Amino acid sequence: MKTVTLKPGKDKAVRNRHHWIFSGAVASLPDFEDGEILAVQSRAGEFLGYGYFNRRCSILGRMLSFDRTPAEEAVRDNIAKAVALRRTLFDANTNAFRLVNAEGDGLPGLIVDRYDDVLVVQVATLGMERLKPFVLEVLSQTTPSRAVYEKSNLPARHEEGLPDFEGLLAGELPPEVRVVETGFPFCVDVIRSQKTGLFLDQREMRRLVLSLAAGRRILNCFAYTGGFTVYGLRGGAARVVSVDASEPALNMAGRNVSLNGFEPRAEDFIKADVFGFLRKHDEVYNLVILDPPAFAKKKTDVRQACRAYKDLNRVALARVAAGGLVLTFSCSHFVDEPLFQTVVFQAALEAGRRVRILQRHHQAFDHPLNIFHPESDYLKGFLLYVD
């Protein structure tokens, strides 16, 4: 088989089961088509595994197996293992979850989310794009579904030389999918939603809000379709105000509130820029939730993103009653947890509030982090107590 040879001393990451091979680690490449699966060996000729490669990318190769298991067999095995793991994690009370979490399940470039009997797929790399027919075949065998829909609108695809793509891959997609999470019903509009439908990675933190909500006045910023809002109301909150810049998202949030047995009040769903709302609004809350979109989509955005995170947390701290809580997050991959904590410290200092961290973000079980591939860790957050 065509073989990639790594430079002396540059094979350590692969030996440590890290999926990425950077261009600077490669001593020689065979003639190949971008996206093709190639064997990988050390400079001494030791076989290391199989991966797919793309000359366009700084991450030249992504490993699919770390032994002599053929690449397609490894993909099949890892999908089956991912599905089997989720069966141990969820019962009938939750039928919306991540089925495949890219490197976290040994499948770089592939995300699959399940919403009841609908699968939503994201393909980030050319190598996985070439494997897509095989992946769909395996999914049909391991997870029979009514429909498979692809939402591959990802910045990573541009470097891979791939256009964005969205469309139905199999079956018939209903206009909306009704799901349950922790026994709570939600409507998901797969086509018009952000990401794949729900922010599944926040499930454990929504449960945290459920446990904290009783009697509190809650402000849910960047509310999207009302996940935190529903959990706050189900937890007995005195009031939950949801703010988002998207009117369709707020409309869906109102529907989800209704589905859960509450009467949505127009004054509790506010279409506004969150930064502007926090500056102009003077009501005080007992719990403020900040779950913004990624402010740093690339490494060069980090400085500007940190300014935005600091500004957001500073103005939010002014809206919290003494003895209140702030649940604040960053999903920017390039802003790691120590940096985010520093930003929150600066925000608290400028706001003149005494702040303590009560808890850090809890990873949702269906978003496993590969211990050999820590770069997959992107979401971080703090539960803050504010004097």
Domains 3-65 and 199-386 share a fold: no
| CATH of span 3-65 | 2.30.130.10
Q: For position 85, what pLDDT does the model report?
A: 98
- pLDDT (tens digit per residue) in 148-160: 999 999 989 999 9
Residue type for 81, please?
K
- pLDDT (tens digit per residue) in 187-219: 999 998 888 889 999 999 999 999 999 999 999
Q: How far is CA 231 from the centre of its chain?
A: 19
Confidence of residue 299 (pLDDT cuts 50, 70, 90): confident
Domain boundaries, the chain: 3-65, 71-177, 199-386
Cα–Cα dist 66/235, whole Å = 46
Cα–Cα dist 230/241, whole Å = 11
Question: Per this entry, what is the length of the chain?
Answer: 387
Indicate the helix (H) or strand (E) that contains 344. Answer: helix 337-351
Q: For position 255, what pLDDT does the model report?
A: 96
Q: For position 81, what pLDDT does the model report?
A: 98
Closest CA to 104 of 201, 26, 29: 201
pTM: 0.94
Phi and psi angles of residue 147, each rounded to the nearest 5 degrees, phi first: -155, 150
Cα–Cα distances (Å) from 321 to 44, 76, 231, in that order, read 64, 52, 21
Return mean pLDDT, the chain. 96
Residues with a known catalytic role? 331
Q: Using CA of residue 154, residue 155, residue 159, residue 161, what is the dihedral sign?
A: positive
| Fold observed for domain 71-177 | Transcription Regulator spoIIAA (3.30.750)
- End-to-end, the C-alpha distance of the chain in Å comes to 64
Domain 199-386, architecture per CATH: 3-Layer(aba) Sandwich (3.40)
